[in-house]
Every structure is written in C-alpha cells, then in structure tokens.
Structure 1
Amino acid sequence: MSITRLADTTVMLPLAAACTVWLACGRAWRMAFWWCLLFALGLTLVAATKIAFIGWGIGIQALDFTGFSGHAMRTTAVMPVLFYLLLQKSSPTVRTLGVVLGIALGVLIGISRLAVQVHSVSEVVSGCILGAFVSVGFIWISSTLPKPILHRWLIALSLIVLIPAPMAKPAPTDRWLNAISLSISGHYKPFERGYSGESHCCVSEPD
C-alpha cells in the first residue's frame, strides 16, 4: 500500500501540473500544450473505460479487463517526462536512462496494484502501455521543438512543495467514477468484476 499510494491522484496530478508550469515558465508553449493534451487524453481513456464498465458492464471478460489501471497509467506517463525535464542538460544517454527509470517506476506501481488485488494483469499491462504512449509520445514530439529554458529555482521550489503529497489522504476517485457512471447509465447498482448482466437491468431504485 505504501508503494501504490505514491501513484495516487493527489501525487501524480500535482507532478503533472508542475511539469506544465516548468514548461510554461520556460516559454516552451508548444511543449506545454502537447504535454497537457496527451496527458489529458490518457486520463480520459482511463475514465472512459472505467465508466463504460461500471455503468454498462462493457469490458473484456476473457482478459478480466474492466478498465485501464489509472495508477499504472499516471506513473508511466508522468515519471518519464519528469526525469526527461529534470535531466534536460544531461547527455542523451543519461536522459534515456532517466526515461527508462520512469517507465520502470510505472511497472513497479503496476505490480503493487496486483499485490493489493485491485487490478488484473491485463488492466495493469494496458495501463502501463497507455502511460508509456503518453510519455514517449510527448518526448518524441519534444525532440522536434526548441528546448525549454527551465528555471532551477522553480523546479526546486515545486518539488519541495510537493514533498507532503504522498502523505495526503487518497482522492476518492473510485467513488466519483461510480457516481458519474450510475448517473449517466441510469442504473442504481454498478457492474462489478464477475458480473451477471441480468442482475443490473434495473434503471430505478428497487422497492
């Protein structure tokens, strides 16, 4: 739980926002735009698959897939980009190693999600792949753009401010997604792993 908590929304979203601020303050507007767009697309896909399953039972039973792992996606999306920016002035080899380390951290978070038994292998693997597409896609696009002028004092201040983030209470994202899914689908009960579609046919609260 200590490891998996490091990828909570209260940790990864502020880190993603910090990357955006660094780029914006470094006048790398196009890089900031692409980072926000790709990360937002990743978050949207995670939410969409979860809402589709919770609200309508849309998943892949053969693979035990009910939606991308958000923890795995967020980590493999954010950490490689974080290291890529922090190592901006390092050699290409060092920056590559930083990106690989970021992806490895995402895999570690994915393994922790399996250990606490909240995701299946297919959900963790797909989450890591989706996050890697976001981070590697951003890095590939960034290689064709002017390098940002990052301010070390801003980076240091941001990271210091975010030190307490892992100790914050986890965001109730599952509860939010349940509420949104049921509101959209009209069902009173969320679909669950190992569901039977017949038991979720009602659209109003039973007597």
Structure 2
Amino acid sequence: MHPLWATLSQLGDSRWLLPLSLVLILFGPKESRALRIRWAAGLAIAGGLTLASKLAFLGWGIGWARLDFTGFSGHATMTAAVYPVAVYLATSGRLPKPLLWALLGSLLAAMVAYSRLPLNAHSPSEVVSGWLLGTAATVFALSARATGWTTPLPTLAASVIVGLAVPMLMPTVRTHDVVIRLATELSGRDQVFNRHHFVR
C-alpha cells in the first residue's frame, strides 16, 4: 500500500478536525458570526447523521447491501465539512478570492475521502455519500459569508495547535472504537454487525 493514502487518511482524523473547528467557531472575528453559526450547525447535523448511520448498522445491521453501504464515511464527511470552511476563514481578508481557496480545501477533502478506498476502510457509496454530506454542510456555512473581516493569526495558530494536541495527548483513542462501544451499549449486543452480515 502506497504510504500516500495512509498519510492522506490521517488528515481526516476527527480528533484533529473537531478541535480545530471548535476553536475557529468560538474565537473567530465577530463579523463572521453568521458564518460560524451556520458552520457549527452544519457540522452538528453532518456529524450526527454520520454517527447515526454507523450506529444503525453496527448495532442493528441497518444498511444497504446492494450499495455496500454501512454508514457515511466519517473521514469523507468531516474533511468535506471542515477543510473548505477553515481555508476560507484563513484566507478571507488576506488573499484574493477566498472562495477559490475554499475549493482547494474541498479538493483536499476529496483526496482524503478517496484515500479510504485503497485502504479498504470504506466502500465507494460510503465515501461519495460522506463527501456529499460534508460538502452540503460547507455550502450551508459559506452561503452566509460576509466581507470586511480577517481571522487573527493567533486564532488560526491556536486552532492548529489545539487540533494537533488532542491526538498527541490521546494517541490510543480511536473514534471508531468509541462508536463500536456505543453501538454495543445501545443495542445490547456483544458483537457489532459487519459487512459479512449482508445477505448477498
């Protein structure tokens, strides 16, 4: 397996993306308040749907066998919902056409999403649907864009530092393990469902 895919996949780790987003949402410039509120709502909805889809399959076997769908890809969803908006917040007021830079963030998200395929972590339906779900959250956030503001460099730096600190402080914690534990607790099952339970 080419190491590029593993490296790209690490960029979709929610342990780094969610803290980074939280700092930008809480401490961004007040002029961007509408955008940040929409971003928080979009992230909450996209994240909630992703978690619900995973719990539905792992705990109760609810999926779509024909499409090999067991839940939205968390990496695809979160990168598509985070990177474009974060890049927009970083470039607005500093570089021309921040929306074009946001598109580059979306391209990065697409590359991270694709990396899940050669790693055999997800099926195409899970990757594509996750990327579309995250992109919808991004479009919702950026539709409230305003002008005349710039995110302070200390805020940008703090978001990156906090984001990187979380996985460093909790190197053994994996979000998928947490989801599995939650699925077993809620469903009362000893074992979670997997793709082999699909009736082909």
> Normalised by the shorter chain, which TM-score bucket?
0.7 to 0.9
Whether 1:26 and 2:30 are equivalent positions in the alignment is yes
**Greater relative CO, 1 or 2 (CA 8 Å, sep 6+):** 2
Partner of residue 121 from structure 2, selected from 97, 118, 134: 118
Give the structure 1 partner of residue 77 of structure 2.
73
Residues 171 and 130 of structure 1, relative CA distance in 2, 3 Å threshold: farther
Higher mean Cα deviation, 124-133 or 173-182? 173-182
Contact 1:10–1:166 under 8 Å retained in 2? yes
Whether 1:84 aligns to 2:88 is: yes
> Is the aligned partner of 1:177 residue 2:174?
no
| Bigger Cα Rg | 1
Q: Mean Cα displacement is larger for which, 25-34 or 80-89?
A: 25-34
The answer to which of 45-54 and 13-22 deviates more is: 13-22
Unaligned runs of 5+ in 2: 1-5
Match of 1:95? 98
Measure the CA separation in 2 of the matches of 1:10 and 1:79.
14
Letter in 1 for 2:174: P
Q: Which AA in structure 2 matches 1:131?
A: G
Deviations 1:149-177, CA, capped at 9 Å, x for gaps: 53233323433554566766264211211
- Letter of the 1:179 counterpart: R
Task: String of CA shifts for 1:98-154, please: whole Å, max 9, x gaps.
Answer: 1211111111111111111010000000010001000111101x13x5755532333
Does residue 106 (structure 1) correspond to residue 109 (structure 2)? The answer is: yes
Equivalent pair of 1:39/1:77 in contact (CA under 8 Å): yes
Aligned-pair CA distance for 1:9: 1.5
Deviations 1:6-33 (A, max 9, x none): 111221112211221332x536443332
1:15 matched to 2:17? The reply is: no
Q: In terms of mean alpha carbon deviation, does 3-12 or 56-65 score higher? A: 3-12
Tell me, yes or no, if the aligned pair for 2:36 and 2:141 is still in contact at 8 Å: no
In the alignment, structure 1 residue 44 sits paired with structure 2 residue 48: yes
Structure 2: how far apart are the matches of 1:163 and 1:88? 23
- State the superposition RMSD in angstroms: 2.3
The one-letter code of the counterpart of 1:130 is L
Query: In 2 relative to 1, CA 196–113 (structure 1 residues): closer, same or farther, beyond 3 Å?
Result: closer
CA distance in 2, matches of 1:149, 1:84: 10
Structure 1 alignment gaps of length 5 or more = 198-207
The share of aligned pairs that are identical, in percent, is 33
Q: Distance in 2 between matches of 1:6 and 1:45?
A: 21
Q: Identify if the C-alpha distance between structure 1 residues 147 and 45 changes in structure 2 by more than 3 Å, giving closer, same or farther.
A: farther
Count of equivalent residues:
193
TM-score between the two structures when normalised by the length of structure 1: 0.83
